Amino acid sequence: MLSPKQRVFIEAGRKEFVRNGYGSSSIRTIAQEAGVSLSALYYHYKNKQDLLLAILLDGVDTYDAVCDAELARAGDDPVEQIRAFVKGNVIFRTQFPEQGRMIATEVRNLEPEGARLYEERRRAGRRRIRDIIDRGVAQGVFTTKYPDDCRRSILAMVSAIANWYDPAGPDGPDEIAERYADLSLALLCPTITGGEGDSR
């Protein structure tokens, strides 16, 4: 969907925003980084805010594409779908760290109109895991008493991988994805439902 020129602007903007944060970033530096004049940049994005929104939506596109590719390979089994969903998330966090970081730290700098657009896109994406969990609960495969908290926890767990993942470290995305799929399923299928909580 993005033209090659837009892609250059988005890469340059992301680089600058990740380095300096939105507030301290300069649209002039971004134009320089992209190797174009300021007016050429303004031709495509009317201001820094407009570029921020484009960068964040591009991040969501990447996330969606990676998750959907994994889910397309999984069958109908909610357990396999959770594994695929977690794998997509691990790939996003490990292979696209700057996109992930933008989403983690710069969404709050969106102005209301952009925030609304962004939130709409994210909500559609979050439906993915919600649907899988709902189906697993309905089929009795997921026995958790707290499906909403499981959904939020799984998203938080996989997002946090970005904080410690080291591309030069011993574990590749595949191993990490396996472990986090196991952990996600431990949340969704606790055999002692509620643990010690049952005794309260």
Question: Does the footprint of a second copy cover residue 150 (CB under 8 A)?
Answer: yes
Q: Which helix (H) or strand (E) segment is 9 a member of?
A: helix 4-24
Q: Using CB under 8 A, pick the residue from 21, 26, 28, 126 that binds a second copy.
A: 21
- Piece in contact with a second copy (CB under 8 A), picked from 2-10, 87-95, 115-123, 186-194: 186-194
Q: Using CB under 8 A, pick the residue from 74, 79, 102, 132 that binds a second copy.
A: 79
Determine the Cα–Cα distance for residues 125 and 55; give it in Å rounded to an integer: 17
The candidate with the shortest Cα–Cα distance to 25, out of 60, 52, 57, is 52
Q: Kindly determine how many residues on this chain lie close enough to bind a second copy according to the rule CB under 8 A.
A: 44
Determine the Cα–Cα distance for residues 96 and 93; give it in Å rounded to an integer: 6
- Closer residue to a second copy in complex, CB, 29/153: 153
Tell me, residue by residue from 47 to 76, as one string, x for binding to a second copy by CB under 8 A and - for no binding. ------------------------------
Determine the Cα–Cα distance for residues 93 and 9; give it in Å rounded to an integer: 22
Cα torsion for 109, 4, 125, 77, to the nearest 10°? -150
Cα torsion for 36, 44, 68, 141, to the nearest 10°? 120
Minimum distance, C-beta of residue 35 to a second copy, in the bound complex (Å): 25
Total residue length of the chain: 200
- Closer residue to a second copy in complex, CB, 120/196: 196
Residues near a second copy (CB under 8 A): 20-24, 79-80, 83, 105, 108-109, 144-146, 149-150, 152-153, 155-157, 159-161, 163-164, 178-183, 185-187, 189-192, 194-197, 200
